[in-house]
Structure 1
Amino acid sequence: MAKDTQRRTEQRAALIAAAEAAIAGGGLGALKARDLAATLGCAVGAIYTLVADLDELVLLVGSRTLARLDAALAAADAGADGAGTDGTEAAVRRLEAVALAYARFAHAETALWRALFEFRMAPEKALPDWSVADQIGLFVHVDAPLAALLPGLDPERRGLLARSLFSAVHGILALGLEGKLVAVPQAHLEAQIALVVRAACRGLVAEQAEGPPS
């Protein structure tokens, strides 16, 4: 029984790796059951003994992508140079470092990064809890520096700000990598992302200093 379990685990890992390679090479449209079966040297039906369907397989690939992204953002946050600066500037540097790490990851693994946002579950299906947790977990890398930047802000508002900052950076990046007419040229993406993050931080700090509107 143990050997059968190990063999199934190895086959499932090989299937996920093959799916990841397919998406990395040609996007979500390149993920086809017949091609995967040919790569693995098995029947198409054998794939569905390892995963429920291709939706689950895409989510499993996405989980691996998110794990690498999580590690990249954590390393950027930990390595942000805040020596000799006050708490506010250190927090700004952390947010800038995380944003730039996100941009560099997207540039290095563009197809897999895009797949995270292009994939849609069928309307009748719900995202499994483990996939939701993978996605939400990334926001800690924005939330933690924001907590240092805006110590008086309640967690709910801070969570909304984390999502808003992420959306701003993601939007600049997505348009830039797609080369849209209105996009920031790729050569200037990182500098503009850093500028936007710093400008947002200055505005947030100033707003907190002013206090709530009377």
Structure 2
Amino acid sequence: MTKALERRAKLRSDLILAAERMIAERGLAGLKTRDLAREIGCANGAVYNLVTDVDELVLRVGSRTLHRLDAALSAAESAGDPSPPETLVRIAIAYCDFAAENLELWRALFEHRMAADKVLPDWSVNDQLQLFRHIHHPLAQLLPGRSQEQLGITARSLFSAAHGMVALGLEQRLVAVPLPALRREIADLVRAMIDGLASRAA
């Protein structure tokens, strides 16, 4: 790799890390390319020589967030009681804890909107879809009679229910729920859903 390419690669890495810090501190709305350029020591216009646009920059930061979330869910999946119901409960609680500990970066995953005519790149889609394997695997053990398509829908439904509780529970408003209570409520919800699914399957 030439010196010029090495410098560009380092600047690109510095830009993504700076954007990650800025979102973590200010939220997605606080992401400003002018401030980023100043922090990494380049001209404002040079930012767009490192990434295509702000959408790509936010997605690159999101990719880093999703990979850290993936690691947290993997750790939860392999810890403790290996039964599918308890595995799913641990995964849901790990998701809640990750969101609470990385609030603005987690929010940015869902707040970011691309223009209607822009297509989400394959690498970003894959980063998101990979996470569903943590739910899909224990569900497949719990519901062996379901097809892969049915399991995929159930996994998304279970995620949506837990995500909704996390999103509302962590709101810094009147609907906010103390984290220990939120963790208990999420565990109860997941167990209730799993009991219902298992009962219907039987």
Scaled by the length of structure 2, what TM-score is found? 0.96
**What whole-Å deviation, never above 9, does each CA across 1:75-133 have from its counterpart, x for those lacking one?**
11011323xxxxxxx00011011101101000000000000000000111110010001
Which of 171, 186, 190 is the aligned partner of 2:179?
Answer: 186
Deviation at 1:41, TM superposition (A): 1.6
Pick which of 4-13 and 19-28 moved more. Answer: 4-13
Deviation at 1:135, TM superposition (A): 0.5
Deviation at 1:182, TM superposition (A): 4.6
1:10 and 2:3 are equivalent in the alignment: no
Q: Which residue of 2 is the match for residue 154 of structure 1? A: 147
Unaligned runs of 5+ in 1: 83-89, 210-214
Q: Which residue of 2 is the match for residue 125 of structure 1? A: 118
Count of residues in Structure 1 that have an aligned counterpart in Structure 2: 202
1:38 and 2:38 are equivalent in the alignment: yes
Give the ranges of 4+ consecutive aligned residues of structure 1 lying more than 3 Å apart after TM superposition.
179-187
Q: Which residue of 2 is the match for residue 59 of structure 1? A: 59
Give distance in 1, aligned partners of 2:108 and 2:96: 15
1:165 and 2:152 are equivalent in the alignment: no
Q: Which residue of 1 is the match for residue 89 of structure 2? A: 96
Q: Which residue of 2 is the match for residue 208 of structure 1? A: 201
Unaligned runs of 5+ in 2: none
Deviation at 1:183, TM superposition (A): 5.2
**What whole-Å deviation, never above 9, does each CA across 1:157-177 have from its counterpart, x for those lacking one?**
110000000000000010010
Give distance in 2, aligned partners of 1:195 and 1:149: 17
SS of 1:120's equivalent?
Answer: coil
Give distance in 2, aligned partners of 1:74 and 1:40: 33
Query: What amino acid sits opposite 2:106 in the alignment?
Result: W
Q: Which residue of 1 is the match for residue 76 of structure 2? A: 76
Which of 107, 128, 134 is the aligned partner of 2:127?
Answer: 134
Give distance in 2, aligned partners of 1:134 and 1:172: 23
Give distance in 2, aligned partners of 1:51 and 1:182: 38
Scaled by the length of structure 1, what TM-score is found? 0.91
